[in-house]
Amino acid sequence: MDFNLPTDLVAYLDELDRFIAREIKPLEEADDNIRFFDHRREWARTDFENGGLPRREWELLLRKAKDLADKAGHLRFAIPKRYGGKDGSNLWMAVIREHFAAKGLGLHNDLQNEHSIVGNLPLVTMLDRYGSAEQKAMIEGSIAGKYRITFGLTEPEHGSDATHMETRAVPATRDNVKGWLINGEKMWTTGMHVATHCALFARTSGNDGDARGITCFLVPARSDGVKVEQYMWTFNMPTDHPRVSFSDVFVPEDALFGEVGRGLSLAQCFVHENRIRQAASSLGAAPCRCMAAWAIRDTSRSSTSTAITVATASPKAARKSRCERSRASCSAIWEPASDEAEVADRLCTRRCRHGGDGSARDRPVSTQSAATAPSPAERPHDVRRVNHPSRGCRKYVCSLARPIYQCGNSRVTR
Ligand SMILES: Cc1cc2nc3c(=O)[nH]c(=O)nc-3n(C[C@H](O)[C@H](O)[C@H](O)COP(=O)(O)OP(=O)(O)OC[C@H]3O[C@@H](n4cnc5c(N)ncnc54)[C@H](O)[C@@H]3O)c2cc1C
């Protein structure tokens, strides 16, 4: 198989680079916006006194960059032409993602919240493939920022295996309106602070582990009974990842997103669109991390910065070989719809996530041993490696400026 990049893709990367230099860099450099990307970035981006949420000015800046990219015809690259897109393939998206991440931190692309001037818009694909006519009408608004639909799949007790979930929905009638009553709890529901809706997955029939019987609902985020319980503080702040409870939330029939009992297809649609691109981004960022780490070691400055500590934890060669293996996996998407592509998707998904709790700032990350260092995508701000007393393995403990830090219900200790 020929793994060389198609010439029109290489030409498009050049076009994107020229657009970034012409329109995005000047915005990044204006009004001290660089504070959002340099050593001050965590403080510039985070409203620490407001739950650790992203500051408004940070989010407005990202929106401005997206609007410029939309005007120039790049933001919608991956979506169908009928919505102003270019029908961009997953392969092209993966290559663009890797290319952007390799350029380093910037307003063109930010791995922390998946902002990019070439939009990752899996919800548009879901609305297009599974939405009713009314739901499809939300597509334009969801690209332009009028609608923000979060993805409510993961739960406190269930992540990788989406066929297990505690959240339940049962048919109900309220004020003569037929609909569904939903109860449950979701976790890491990114973006709830600005959400208009949540694409919420609930079991409506069948047993734990059944692929059938899960249904997706488009739940208005401000419905009675929807409550953000806690924002999960992450190594890399700000956070917009809450634990959300749904208590007797009533939605009418037209909130159904796709068919009753077939919701798992929508969940798969999201992750198939999304995860390979995250893996590609990690590939782009990995060499940067590696090189930064080795540069510091070479100049014998014993470092303090954590991401770098983490990067050095695994020998350069091993990391590079893992990158190559992942790249080979990504390349399998050259063969669309093959079994190999499915396997590649799974492999890449595994490599770009270590379980949500691995990102939480309030927990020791015992899973992140040297062998499974965190994804090289923007990661820990300040992490220390210590010995894990009970398991005899290394763990990373998050340390902050203050010895004890209260965040939500949980405590972080040195
Ligand atoms: C920053 C962030 C944002 C997120 N945003 C969202 C969101 O918007 N919506 C949403 O629904 N979810 C979101 N998630 C959750 C994410 O999708 C889950 O963390 C992920 O699915 C893994 O689930 P888990 O955290 O329960 O980990 P687990 O399922 O507990 O997995 C822990 C580890 O075990 C491994 N593992 C699990 N099962 C197996 C197995 N059978 N064989 C081998 N290894 C296995 C995993 O690969 C992982 O390394 C987010 C997570 C993070 C960190």
Distance from C-alpha of 232 to C-alpha of 362, rounded to nearest angstrom: 8
136 within some domain: no
> 237 with 52: CB under 8 angstroms?
yes
> 262 with 215: CB under 8 angstroms?
yes
Same domain, 297 and 403: yes
Nearest alpha carbon to residue 231 among 183, 188, 184: 188
What integer pLDDT is reported at residue 346 of this predicted model? 52
305 within some domain: yes
For residue 127, the tally of other CB atoms under 10 A from its CB is 24
102 within some domain: yes
Number of domains forming the structure of the chain:
3
Which atom of ligand 1 lies nearest, measured to the CA of 162?
Answer: 21
Same domain, 244 and 271: no
| 83-118 pLDDT per residue, tens | 999 999 888 998 899 899 999 889 999 988 889 999
Integer CA distances (angstroms), 391 to 149, 364, 367, 371, 411, in order: 40, 12, 11, 15, 22
65 within some domain: yes
Same domain, 196 and 257: yes
What integer pLDDT is reported at residue 284 of this predicted model? 77
Instruction: Return the amino acid letter for 360.
Output: A
Instruction: Return the amino acid letter for 276.
Output: I
Distance from C-alpha of 117 to C-alpha of 20, rounded to nearest angstrom: 9
- Pocket of ligand 1 contains residue 159 by CB under 6 Å: yes
Tell me the residue range of the domain where 30 lies: 7-120
Ligand 1 centroid–CA 121 distance in Å is: 20
The stretch 334-359 carries a mean pLDDT of 51
Same domain, 82 and 186: no
127 within some domain: no
Same domain, 333 and 229: no
Same domain, 408 and 275: yes
What integer pLDDT is reported at residue 357 of this predicted model? 67
Same domain, 375 and 287: yes
1 within some domain: no
Same domain, 14 and 114: yes
| 229-274 pLDDT per residue, tens | 999 998 889 999 999 999 999 999 999 999 999 999 999 999 888 8
Last-in-domain residue among 261, 278, 304: 261
> 42 with 381: CB under 8 angstroms?
yes
| 129-161 pLDDT per residue, tens | 999 999 999 999 999 999 999 999 999 999 888
Distance from C-alpha of 219 to C-alpha of 327, rounded to nearest angstrom: 37
Last-in-domain residue among 216, 232, 261: 261
- Pocket of ligand 1 contains residue 156 by CB under 6 Å: no
Same domain, 192 and 279: no
Q: Whose CA is nearest to atom 30 of ligand 1?
A: 355
Ligand 1 centroid–CA 6 distance in Å is: 34
Ligand 1 centroid–CA 372 distance in Å is: 14
Same domain, 192 and 284: no
Q: Which of 173-187, 241-255, 301-315, 328-342 has the lowest mean pLDDT?
A: 301-315
Nearest alpha carbon to residue 261 among 198, 342, 207: 207
Distance from C-alpha of 354 to C-alpha of 379, rounded to nearest angstrom: 12
Q: Whose CA is nearest to atom 38 of ligand 1?
A: 160
Q: Which of 22-31, 222-231, 274-283, 341-350 has the lowest mean pLDDT?
A: 341-350
Distance from C-alpha of 110 to C-alpha of 390, rounded to nearest angstrom: 37
128 within some domain: no
- Pocket of ligand 1 contains residue 379 by CB under 6 Å: no
Ligand 1 mutation pick, 160, 186, 264, 272, max ligand atoms within 8 A of CB: 160
Same domain, 359 and 406: yes
Same domain, 249 and 300: no
139 within some domain: no
**CATH no. for residue 201?**
2.40.110.10
Is pTM, for the whole model, over 0.85?
no
Assign 3-class secondary structure to 153-214.
CCECCECCCCCCCCCEEEEEEECCEEEEEEEEEECCCCCHHHCCEEEEEEECCCCCCCCCCE
Report CA 374 to chain centroid distance, whole Å. 14
**CATH no. for residue 113?**
1.10.540
Residue 301, pLDDT above cutoff 60: no
Last-in-domain residue among 226, 261, 296: 261
Ligand 1 mutation pick, 150, 154, 190, 264, max ligand atoms within 8 A of CB: 154
